[in-house]
Structure formats: structure tokens, C-alpha cells
Structure 1
Amino acid sequence: MSDPDPDSDPTIADPTETPDRVIVLDVVGLQPEHVDAERTPTLESLFPSDAVTDLQPPFPALTVPSQTTLATGRGPASHGDVSSGEFDRERQVAEFWERDRDGRERLWETASDRAGLTTGVLNFQHLIGTSADVAVTPSPIEDEDNNILEMNCWTNPDGFYDDLRADLNHFPLHNYWGPGANEEGSRWILAAARKAIDRFDPDLLWIYVPHLDYVGQSDGPESDAFAAELETVDDLLADFLDDLAETDRWDETVLALVSEYGFHDVDRPVFPNRALRQAGLLETDAEGDVDIAGSDAFAMVDHQIAHVYADDGSLDAAREALAALEGIDAVLNDAGKAEREIDHPNAGDLVLVAEPDAWFQYYWWDDRENAPPYATDMDIHEKPGFDPCELFFGDDGLVSLDASKVGGSHGRVDESAFGCFGLGGPAAPAFDGDGPVDATDVAPTIADLLGIADDLSMAFDGSSLRRGGGEE
């Protein structure tokens, strides 16, 4: 999973001519075995079995690391997105889902800024400030306590959300994440994509379709609920693709099917911060919140991965406290991080990897009465770890504190939980779907289709993607 050689592209044959347009369908949670005539006939008609193959995610197989890798062709050791959260060592703060571009140059920025193509991207992470010609990302107006005052989206161009709202109503944020998550978020995104095509006719449009992510976490990939939602997402895509087929450039369009990762069935929550607290390494304040600055060690958890940050002199004690926990498959030191290609300053001093049927929850308390106030709220910014329990209604608040309800997780890189990659549509070139495609090959493949491989190579050689990171 090393950074790509810009002069090679193992995933496609040389196209006989550059297609006019590439539409990327980023259907998170989809795997090749899900594409069949019974459950997903629309996808199967465009991406037959020989045109879909496994996609090997980067380690860790988490939303932001996977998305940044797919859109840049660089792995986490290079781009520095090692989790969907980021731990600021100087401020001693763990923050999730910050929404700014923050120096990232992704495929759409390269295509727009360096090659002059018209580009678009919907609902990807870290879009605020992007130079894509059309972009949409949720950005609700919140008060100082993270309470939503008004729904809003950040868009390029400015004012595009007003137009979308007039036609589609507000983006359904409470159906996009939380106990009410359902297909309405994906339905709105695909409707917005149709509006973007009608108005801007982009040469490259990347569309994030999140619907399967919810049921993949709540019920797990082998559940009846997941099978049912495969049919739902196929129906949503059918409506979008029917409209796309009526556009003037349909005959010159390539469709790229991408999934960031697959899911593991899980039934064992693991609590590394409890172990650190019991060892006297993690401190809390008077309200029950973690006092990261006053702690000797803290674990920033994200599904099946946890980054452990420890003060000088406390690393061995933290490793010893965590060693007794069941459900941990590996504890990565510097050598282990280098082997998994996550050796970046943003990574934890130790990185924990859960066993396939386990996942990490951020809780440091045992008694619910000692939980911080935000624990039962849907508060993705205040919580210092990813919380899939936000998918379930609670007994004593909006969000459940019963971690045993979670049925699926991701983050490990196992063949059973690879994502998928495929090429289809009327202008798709020959595609060898025999063997997995590495996530770092996706951006070079799409760049090659668009005839901008040299521009992507220049971006690879010359820009710094993440603050605090190395040269790309």
C-alpha cells in the first residue's frame, strides 16, 4: 500500500480516447459480492462481475483516511489523516469531523486548479474551502455548545445551497447521522447531484452515498437489515442514473464505482480509556469529562482503531495497562506503525487494532451517573472519540449508552472487509477486475481517464497536503 508510481496504472487498459466525463459513485460499505442481479440489479447492469473487484483500503480503513487516500493516491503515512479525528498535541485536544480543506489537494482540486476542468464533489469530508467548481457539505450554524441553530451547507459557488433548498428543502441532517439515520440523506445528495449536473455539467463529479454506512454499523454486514438496504440504495442509484442517461454527454461518460471499506460483524466493545483510568493514567474533571491535558495517557478511538497518546515516561505504563484487555489484536509501536504505513506524527504513540469481532468505545466511566453531559447527546464535535451508539435512541437521553447494541465496525484491513472498485458506463475502457485494486491507485486511474495524469504527478511531487505532515 505504498504511494503510487505516477508512471504506472495497473487498474485499466489505456483508453483509446479520453472520455468527456467521469462520475464517481462512492457507495461506502459496498463490496463486490453485493453487486448481483437479485439485490442490486441497477449496479449489476452497469458493473458486471468482471468489471468489479476488491478495493484494498489503506490502514486504517476509516472514513477520513480512506477518503483522503482515494482522492489523492497517497497513504496515511504521507497525507497524515490517520483517523476521522485529529489529536492536537500542542493544545491537548481531540477533535472529530473538522470540516475545513486545511491544505488538502484532492483529485478535484488538481483537475480544477492545474488542468482547468470543471469539477464537483458532494458530501465528502473536509470540503470547506475547496476550489472544486461545485461543492456541497453540511455546515450547520451552531451555538457555542454545538447546538444547531439553523441547518446550512457550505457550497461552491456561494448561494448554491439556497437554490438547492428552494428545490429540495433543507439537507436532512438528522437522517444523515444519528438515531434517525436513513436513506433520506442519500436521496437528497443524489438529487443535489442531478441539480449540479444540470447547472454546471462537471467533467468530474464525486458523489458520496452514505446510506449503507448506517446499517453496516447498527446491524452488521451479514444482517437481514443490511441485505434489505442494498436494495434501497440500488433503487436510489437507479433514479439518479436514469436521469444521467438522458444528459447530452452520457455516451462519453465513465462511471467509477468506489467503496471505502467493508464491515466486520462485531459483538465485543473494548474500553481502552477505562483501563487507562484504572491504572491512574487518565484523569477526569468535576463534570466527568476527560481531562486530557492533566492525563498521562489517553486513547482517541475510531471504530476498530485507537490512537494512544502518552506523556514522556508513561508509555510503558500505558502499554502494560492495555495489555490485559481482551479484544485487542495488536499494539503497534514505531516499528508496527511503519509496517502498516501509518508512521506519521499525527498517529498515536501506540496504535491499537481490535480483533475482527471487536471495536473500541471511548467511555472511561463504569457507572452511567459518572458519564459527561454530552454522552447521551448527538454531539460529534465534543466527544473525543467516534461514537456509533449515536445510531440508537437512549433510555435517559437522545443517544444510547449501551455499546452492546453495535453490530458492525471497520478499521482493520482484512480481505473479508475490502471495499470495491469498478468501471462502467458507455465510455468505460477495458478493465481487468482480476485481483484487488489498492486504494492509492484510484486517483491515478481517474486522472488517467481524464487525461490529467501529469497534473496529478505534479501535485504529488510539489504540495504539502496536511499541516504538520511531510512532503507528498
Structure 2
Amino acid sequence: MTEPTIPAATDTAGRVIVLDVVGLRPEHVDADRTPALESFVSTESMTDLRPPFPAVTVPAQTTLGTGRGPGEHGDISSGEYDRERDAAEFWERDRDGRDRLWETASDEAGLTTGVLNFQHLIGTSADVAVTPSPIEDENNDILEMNCWTNPDGFYDDLRAELGHFPLHNYWGPGANEEGSRWILSAAREAIDRFDPDLLWIYVPHLDYVGQSDGPESDAFTEQLDVVDGLLEEFLDFLSATDRWDETLLTLVSEYGFHEVDRPVFPNRALRDAGLLETADDGDVDLAASDAFAMVDHQIAHVYVDEGAIEAARDALAGLAGLEGIDTVLEEAGKAEREIDHPNAGEFVLVAAPNAWFQYYWWDDRANAPPYATEMDIHAKPGFDPCELFFGDEGLVSLDASNVSGSHGRVDESAFGCFGLGGPAAPALEGDEPVDAIDVAPTIADLLGLEGELSMPFEGTSLRRG
């Protein structure tokens, strides 16, 4: 097997459209299951994409957009633990100083760039941006659906044309293809109005069925057909635009899925060891706790107060003996996995391929916090895939055995995909996996931006010559 390269070419692409189809793998793209996609991005121009560790949403997206890994950019999970405030928060939505390819190409090279529905977009300098930002009250209840956009007022135009962004179909028990349909329709509007040179589009809905039913399920196969139909509509539109002849399609997927059948509960082990405390309402009391596990699919960051390291190590050693735990990373292990960043936990747990981590610290449902049965992604101090299932006692199920797919581990069975298509696509030679850190520098190179950006790429362009 040979490392993929893109042969050096005199010509560059005038326009790059990146389709981030989460959960897609190269074997999903063929003339039988996804004929429309295969007609635009052939299997000969596709290979595996090796995600960063951990292979979860925010670390993967930041790595793809910056060419740097989590150990450098600091997005070590889709959540953040603030040690000073003793607060665990998921899905913070502002830019917070992040510079990704769409910002640097706009700010430094004068290209018109756009990005739809990635995380950390609020405040981006991309010329066109859309990200959900509903207006909420102090209890995180939605008062009004809204999206943050560049330019101001773009969401008003999208809403007039497409209706409100279907947030309840974007995540939760009602998650389906309508979120992806709206995003791709918004991408068409962005191209019509702003004609971006670089447009990065998040297509999420395979993510839902990948978690709820698993990647080998009939439901997943059915949704491959659905996503192929949505992409066919978008690509037919794109191929009829004036700049089609100079367009390069870049197909990426942030990660693939593992089939899982075993939830693991590290916070129960920490509670049983006397390291995790709870408040009267059942919520975790982070300020009073000596240790806490912020879980995210198959990865858990365990944050430990100074002086409690040995007690936490003992508690986790007992947990590591249980089926479902692959390894417990300390300093050397974090460095080996390139996640040795101050934002990471003192310990990082990695699940076995068939297992995943749930945030629950209680055994009796009567002791669960009020938000446990609600669809409340900001209140929960861990990612909760049970939000995909309706519950018996509230909106959301507390039955972790429902979950059939997960991700986060980095192994060949759950790589994503990387492919090139469209009239301006060069050949992709070789069949070794592409590393996620090489995606942004490769796109910059194909846009003719090599040497024009100050962005400190860690990765390198696949193009050689």
C-alpha cells in the first residue's frame, strides 16, 4: 500500500466545495448504494481518512479546519471543563480565537469563504456562515429558533425561503434528514448569493442513525440512500452553475462508527470511591468533588483535584479491570496519543471497540438530576446519545442499552473517508489513509494559497512534485 499523493499540477481549483458527510466510509460509496455520489466522486479517487484522537465532533472539525491536532489546538472533546469555575460545558458556539482555513483564506488571501453548521462559528470572519443559535431563557428552554450568520440578516433571508432551521430534526428523538436537507438548501442559497471560492458544508444525519441503530444496521443502509438523494439534488444544482468547470469537490467524513452493546459508567466508580459528590437535586457537585469524568462517546476525560490523584488512580484501576475499558491513559499515554494538552483530563479513558461511556453517576433513576430525561445538551456534563430516544418518564430515555453505535477510538475499523471529485479534481494516487491534519493544507494548496497564509499548519499538502 502506498501513501496517497496528489500529483503536482500547474492549474489550481477556482472553487472548492467541501462536503463533510459524517459517518461515511469509502465502502459506502459505490454504484449500488450511493450512485449519485459515486458519479461525482469515484471510488478511484477515494481513500480512508484517519481522524484525530479522539474521533469526536469538535476535535475532528478543528483538526480538519486547521491542520493541527488536539494536542496543539486544545479541542480535546466536544465539551470543555473549566477548572477555575468547576464547570463542564458542551457545545459552546463562539469562535474563541480559532483560526481555520475559511478564516485565514478570507482574511489573508482575499478569497470569499463560507461554512455551514460547524461548531465554534459565532464570531467567524468567514464571509458566509450559518450556525444554529436559538434564543433561550435562563433554563436553556428555547424561546425562539434563530441562527447566527454572516452576513447579518442572512438567516432572515434563509427563513423566508426555507423556513426556520429544523432544530428538533437536527438532534434529539426527532432527528432525521430534514436538518441535512435544510443545510444543503442553505448552501445553494449561499452559492447563488455570494459565490464563495471555498464553501465547507456539514451534512450530519448519518450521525444519528449511526448512533441509534449502528453502522451495520438496515436503518443505516436506508439512510445512505437518503443522503445520496440529498447530495444528488445539491450536486446537480452545483454542476449547472457558471463556475462548475473550475470546481473541486472534496469529500470528507470526520469518523466512522463502531457497533456497540456495552455502556460504561466511570462516574459511578468515582462516586463509589467517595471522589464524586452530588447536590440535593441529584446534580453533580463539581466544586465539592475530587474527581469527575467528562464523557464523550468512547472517550472520557477524568479531571482530578490535586491531592486525589492516587485515590482516582485506584478507582480507575478497578474500573479498568471491567470489560468495556481498553486503556487508561496517563501522561505518557496522552503524549503517545498526541492529546497531552492542559485541557485534557489527568486521566483519559478509552473504551473497548464495543463499548462507550455514559455520564450517569446514579444507579436509581429517582436520584437522577432533572435534566437527565430532557433534551438539554448544554446542561448535561457529558455527551448523551440517549437523547436520540424517547423516554418513558420524560422526553429522553434513560436506557443506555438503546445505543448501538459510537465513535472516538481511532482504529481502522472506524476511519472516515477522503475523496476528490468534480471537473478540477486532480488524481489521488495511493491507497494508504489520509491523515486529518493534511486536509486543510491540501485544500489550501489546491486553491493556490501555498505560501500565502500565516496559518501554522502542522500537516502538509498531499500534493507532491
| TM-score bracket for the superposition, by shorter chain length | over 0.9
Give 1:399's aligned residue: 396
Give 1:153's aligned residue: 147
- Give every structure 1 segment of 4 or more consecutive aligned residues whose post-TM-superposition deviation is greater than 4 Å: none
Going from structure 1 to structure 2, the CA distance change for 1:257 and 1:461 (only over 3 Å counts) comes to: closer
Task: Tell me by how many angstroms 1:351 deviates.
Answer: 0.2
Q: Which residue of the other structure, out of 92, 111, 122, is the alignment partner of 2:116?
A: 122
Task: Tell me by how many angstroms 1:10 deviates.
Answer: 6.0
Q: Secondary structure at the match of 1:86?
A: strand
Task: Tell me by how many angstroms 1:15 deviates.
Answer: 2.7
Task: Tell me by how many angstroms 1:461 deviates.
Answer: 7.2
1:166 equivalent in alignment to 2:163: no
* Corresponding letter in the other structure for 1:229: Q
Give 1:355's aligned residue: 352
Aligned partners of 1:381 and 1:195: how far apart in 2? 30
Q: Secondary structure at the match of 2:339?
A: coil
**Aligned residue runs from structure 1 range 319-398, under 5 A:** 319-325=313-319, 326=322, 327-398=324-395
Going from structure 1 to structure 2, the CA distance change for 1:150 and 1:10 (only over 3 Å counts) comes to: same
Aligned partners of 1:91 and 1:419: how far apart in 2? 36
Task: Tell me by how many angstroms 1:452 deviates.
Answer: 1.0
TM-score (norm 1): 0.95
Does the 8 Å contact 1:141/1:151 carry over to 2? yes
Aligned partners of 1:50 and 1:436: how far apart in 2? 13
Give 2:447's aligned residue: 450
Give 2:233's aligned residue: 239
Does the 8 Å contact 2:68/2:457 carry over to 1? no
Q: Which residue of the other structure, out of 43, 47, 53, is the alignment partner of 1:53?
A: 47
Aligned partners of 1:376 and 1:442: how far apart in 2? 39
Q: For each residue in 1:394-421, what CA deviation from the matched residue of structure 2 results, as whole angstroms up to 9, or x when unmatched?
A: 0000000000000000000010100000
TM-score (norm 2): 0.96
Give 2:106's aligned residue: 112
Task: Tell me by how many angstroms 1:316 deviates.
Answer: 1.7
The gaps in structure 2 that reach 5 residues or longer are 459-465
Does the 8 Å contact 1:11/1:437 carry over to 2? no
1:256 equivalent in alignment to 2:250: yes
The gaps in structure 1 that reach 5 residues or longer are 1-8, 463-472
Aligned partners of 1:461 and 1:322: how far apart in 2? 36
Does the 8 Å contact 2:66/2:457 carry over to 1? no
Give 1:460's aligned residue: 456
Does the 8 Å contact 1:218/1:408 carry over to 2? yes
Give 2:461's aligned residue: none
Task: Tell me by how many angstroms 1:324 deviates.
Answer: 2.3
Q: Secondary structure at the match of 1:453?
A: coil
1:189 equivalent in alignment to 2:186: no
Does the 8 Å contact 1:24/1:257 carry over to 2? yes
Aligned partners of 1:433 and 1:182: how far apart in 2? 35
Aligned partners of 1:305 and 1:454: how far apart in 2? 37
1:418 equivalent in alignment to 2:415: yes
Does the 8 Å contact 2:299/2:409 carry over to 1? yes
**Aligned residue runs from structure 1 range 158-307, under 5 A:** 158-307=152-301
Q: Secondary structure at the match of 2:350?
A: strand
Give 1:4's aligned residue: none
Q: For each residue in 1:368-390, what CA deviation from the matched residue of structure 2 results, as whole angstroms up to 9, or x when unmatched?
A: 00000000000000000000000
Does the 8 Å contact 1:25/1:207 carry over to 2? yes
Does the 8 Å contact 1:258/1:420 carry over to 2? yes
Q: Secondary structure at the match of 1:379?
A: coil
Aligned partners of 1:354 and 1:70: how far apart in 2? 24
Does the 8 Å contact 2:291/2:303 carry over to 1? yes
Aligned partners of 2:40 and 2:457: how far apart in 1? 35
Task: Tell me by how many angstroms 1:11 deviates.
Answer: 3.6
Give 1:34's aligned residue: 28
Q: For each residue in 1:71-105, what CA deviation from the matched residue of structure 2 results, as whole angstroms up to 9, or x when unmatched?
A: 10000010000000000011110000000000000
Aligned partners of 1:81 and 1:197: how far apart in 2? 30
Aligned partners of 1:388 and 1:322: how far apart in 2? 23
Give 1:469's aligned residue: none
Does the 8 Å contact 1:52/1:433 carry over to 2? no
Give 1:6's aligned residue: none
1:65 equivalent in alignment to 2:59: yes
Indicate the percent of aligned positions where both proteins have the same amino acid: 80
Aligned partners of 1:461 and 1:18: how far apart in 2? 20
Aligned partners of 2:281 and 2:177: how far apart in 1? 37
Aligned partners of 1:455 and 1:59: how far apart in 2? 29
Q: For each residue in 1:159-201, what CA deviation from the matched residue of structure 2 results, as whole angstroms up to 9, or x when unmatched?
A: 0000000000000000000000000000000000000000000
| Most deviating of 93-102 and 16-25 | 16-25
Task: Tell me by how many angstroms 1:19 deviates.
Answer: 1.4
Aligned partners of 1:120 and 1:461: how far apart in 2? 20
* Corresponding letter in the other structure for 2:206: L
RMSD: 1.1
Q: For each residue in 1:96-154, what CA deviation from the matched residue of structure 2 results, as whole angstroms up to 9, or x when unmatched?
A: 00000000000000100010000000000000000000000000000000000000000
Does the 8 Å contact 1:269/1:361 carry over to 2? yes
Aligned partners of 1:11 and 1:409: how far apart in 2? 31
Q: Secondary structure at the match of 1:193?
A: helix
1:74 equivalent in alignment to 2:68: yes
Q: Secondary structure at the match of 1:206?
A: strand
Does the 8 Å contact 2:210/2:257 carry over to 1? yes
